[in-house]
Amino acid sequence: MKLKRLYQPRNPLFWIVALSLLSAALGWLTHTHEMGVFFSLIIAAFALGHGLLGANLMWRLVKT
């Protein structure tokens, strides 16, 4: 598996994976800011879902 195969700016999947940094930002947000339990759970669920989607798309990029 070659990591340089991940860099494919003409492939739309590349940009979706690049946006998976949003998961890290959402995780940081829930860790550093005091929020209600409801909003923390919503943001955490969104971050986890986005991270799983990004990992799946990254795997598809490596395989192609």
Question: In the chain, where are the structural domains located?
Answer: 17-63
Output DSSP code: residue 1: -
Q: What is the pTM of this model?
A: 0.55
Position 14 pLDDT exceeds 80: no
Q: What is the residue-wise DSSP string for 14-61?
A: HHHHHTTHHHHHHHHHHHHS---HHHHHHHHHHHHHHHHHHHHHHHHH
Q: For the segment 23-43, what is each residue's pLDDT rounded down to a tens digit?
A: 777 778 778 888 888 887 887
